[in-house]
Amino acid sequence: MNKKYVVSLLLSCILVSLAFSAEKKPLDRNFEISKNLDIYNSVLKELNIYYVDTIQPEVLVKESIDKMLESLDPYTTFIPEEDTKDLKFMTTGEYGGIGSIISQNKNNQIIISEPYEGMPAEKAGLKAGDILLEVDGINLKGKNVSDVSELLKGQAGTSVKITLQHFADKKTTTKTITREKILINPVSYFGVLSDSIGYILLSQFTDKAADEVKTAFLDLKNNHHIKALILDLRNNPGGLINQAVKITNLFIPKDIEVVSTKGKMKQFDDSYKSDEEPLDLQIPLIVLVNSNTASASEIVSGALQDLDRAVIVGTRTFGKGLVQATRETSYKGHLKVTTAKYYIPSGRCIQAIDYAHRNEDGSIKRIPDSLTHEFKTKGGRIVRDGGGISPDIEVKNEQKLNISYYLYSKNMIFDFATQYVAKNKKIASPEEFELTEEDYTAFKKYLQNENFTYTLKTADYLKKLQEIADYEGYADIAKEEFKALENKLASNIDRDLDLFKKDITNLLNAEIIKRYYYQKGEIRYQLKNDPELKKAIELFSNKASYFDILSLKK
């Protein structure tokens, strides 16, 4: 409580005067900022001298800065010097290390979660499920994932000594692994689907995204002679705006405005146009999106929609129409600050949340559809602002939160897959592999041996409702109704394992396939039963419907 109070006091010193000076003239505002900073410094000095316990100034200042920025929007953040490596990784997808995802198991041990194909960890024989015990002689007991990640990272060409316990034989071994430059390809997968349809999965917009999409497309076009293309931007959080422009440019004429930005300061007003000759203006194009498609992904999907160049399939996108710039601060820190809003070719901004106008309790909400405005695409189709990109064809996600979520979050899926791999040296291809009935029965038995239990979220809320009813004196009146609901909402593992067998099996298949065929294999499996993908292929099979959506002649 003391720490929270101190941080709150420091934060108040920063914000109170700024709030009163919001409408003042520039000179008045500059005076208020200087005055407020003096107050802040004064309070921090007094706390350092007189507070009953020893304070950590660097911690208090960092937390007060974070709290201040939190009141603006979630994208304006302070990055201290020690975290600038993460900033580089976000923009380049590159770091020095062993090339593996690590996580924490149920015993709080650090384990290999996924070694990247062809990277040092995989080449050294590290497998998913292996337990890391030491890194360069440092015992990892009590260390978290972030701590261990920092120990594993380092300059490419340097070595790191890792002591680990293999899951398969429980033997402890020490390996010296040479770090490499790990470059995460933003194109996670590309290939050819049925009927000569190309598919490209773009997972992020790093500084090489456009080049990788271009390479993938030219390979599909020249070597596989595709007749249509699906660009998958689902779950893509975005990244660099110039990469979004370059990717859009691959499919639209030169000298077309893709996106413009407008900020408080003129230096952040800009117009981004396609400045190169396109690769293909004619190939039918579908873009897959969902609620996690954000930022630069929305620029690409929104611009292609506004220019009537692609049909958008999926669910409404996230709605991030804000642009950030990185400013260097003193002592080699960085401030990632929202500087502008972006506008796609129709003139609309798709920002879904107005952070400047919050509710009385400080909470935020999406802009309701009733307050959005109509805009028109190049061909005259109606589109709207203020709530992300609405797809031309909506494919609703029918998957519900069920027992499979709890199995996944409690590592039951991961651990069973690890055991399965230890007993099976090889499996069928990702397109053909399926767990057998015998395998699923073994999974049920595994859960029994692990004493797996779970509580439904609904049951948790019911318990809280009962507590409120008891506080207000209504518990006895609704006693029978509460009891009936409690019985209906009680988790029944045997029932749910049968009821949601399909969802559970899909998760198990994907996790097992990833152990043999890595990330690309997992993607190939998931594409088999992908409803959005099926809808896109179905649309391509009816070219008249495709062109009709775009209001174009065949």
Q: Tens digit of pLDDT for each residue in 229-271?
A: 999 999 999 999 999 999 999 999 999 999 999 998 999 999 9
What does the pLDDT read at residue 151? 95
Q: Is the pLDDT of residue 119 over 60?
A: yes
196 beta partners: none
Q: How confident is the model at residue 109 (pLDDT cuts 50, 70, 90)?
A: very high
Q: How far is residue 510 from each of residues 87, 381, 413, 504, measured CA to CA in Å? A: 31, 40, 10, 10
Per-residue pLDDT of 120-146, as tens digits, reads 999 999 999 999 999 999 999 999 999
Residue with tokens 């998958």: 232
Domain segments of the chain as ranges: 2-71, 94-183, 187-397, 403-454+491-536, 457-489
Choose, from 127, 143, 246, 320, the residue flagged as catalytic.
Answer: 320
What does the pLDDT read at residue 419? 95
Q: Does the annotation mark 392 as catalytic?
A: no
Fold topology of 94-183: Pdz3 Domain (2.30.42)
Q: Does the annotation mark 291 as catalytic?
A: no
Q: Quick one: average pLDDT of 475-504? A: 88
What does the pLDDT read at residue 1? 45
Q: How confident is the model at residue 14 (pLDDT cuts 50, 70, 90)?
A: low
CB 316 within 8 A of CB 388: yes
Per-residue pLDDT of 413-423, as tens digits, reads 999 999 999 99
CB 219 within 8 A of CB 299: no
Q: Quick one: average pLDDT of 353-381? A: 85
Q: Does the annotation mark 470 as catalytic?
A: no
Per-residue pLDDT of 289-343, as tens digits, reads 999 999 999 999 999 999 999 999 999 999 999 999 999 998 889 999 999 999 9
Per-residue pLDDT of 61-107, as tens digits, reads 999 999 999 999 999 999 888 887 777 777 787 889 999 999 999 88
Q: Quick one: average pLDDT of 494-519? A: 95
Judged by DSSP in three states, 260 sits in: strand
What does the pLDDT read at residue 463? 87
Say which range, 65-79, 185-199, 206-220, 478-492, has the weakest mean pLDDT: 478-492
What does the pLDDT read at residue 21? 47
Non-local (6+) Cβ contacts of 403 within 8 A are: 454, 491, 493, 496, 497, 500, 504
CB 273 within 8 A of CB 256: yes
Per-residue pLDDT of 158-172, as tens digits, reads 999 999 999 878 899
Per-residue pLDDT of 459-469, as tens digits, reads 888 889 999 99
CB 224 within 8 A of CB 261: no
Q: Is the pLDDT of residue 429 over 70?
A: yes
Q: pLDDT averaged over the chain? A: 91
Q: Is the pLDDT of residue 356 over 90?
A: no
Fold topology of 187-397: 2-enoyl-CoA Hydratase; Chain A, domain 1 (3.90.226)
Say which range, 337-351, 409-423, 474-488, has the weakest mean pLDDT: 474-488
Please work out, in degrees rounded to the nearest 5, the angle formed at the alpha carbon of residue 93 by the alpha carbons of 389 and 409.
70
Q: How far is residue 391 from each of residues 312, 368, 437, measured CA to CA in Å? A: 5, 17, 39
Q: Is the pLDDT of residue 380 over 60?
A: yes
Residue among 206, 208, 211, 212 nearest 240 (CA): 206
Non-local (6+) Cβ contacts of 88 within 8 A are: 94, 95
Q: Percent of the chain beyond pLDDT 90?
A: 72
CB 177 within 8 A of CB 160: yes
Q: Cβ–Cβ contacts within 10 Å for residue 272, how many?
A: 20
What does the pLDDT read at residue 553? 45
Q: How confident is the model at residue 370 (pLDDT cuts 50, 70, 90)?
A: confident
What does the pLDDT read at residue 42? 94
Tokens of 498: 């049968």
Q: Which residues of 448-477 are buried (b: 16+ CB within 10 A; e: fewer)?
A: eeeebebebeeeeebeeebeebeeeeeeee
What does the pLDDT read at residue 518? 96
What does the pLDDT read at residue 491? 76
Q: What is the chain's Cα-based Rg?
A: 27
47 φ/ψ angles, rounded to the nearest 5 degrees: -65, -40
Q: Is the pLDDT of residue 6 over 70?
A: no
Q: Is the pLDDT of residue 396 over 70?
A: yes
Choose, from 17, 64, 188, 295, the residue flagged as catalytic.
Answer: 295
Q: Percent of the chain beyond pLDDT 70?
A: 95
Choose, from 73, 306, 415, 496, the residue flagged as catalytic.
Answer: 306
Q: Is the pLDDT of residue 7 over 80?
A: no
Q: Quick one: average pLDDT of 173-183? A: 95
What does the pLDDT read at residue 2? 59
Q: How far is residue 460 from each of residues 227, 454, 463, 474, measured CA to CA in Å? A: 52, 11, 5, 19
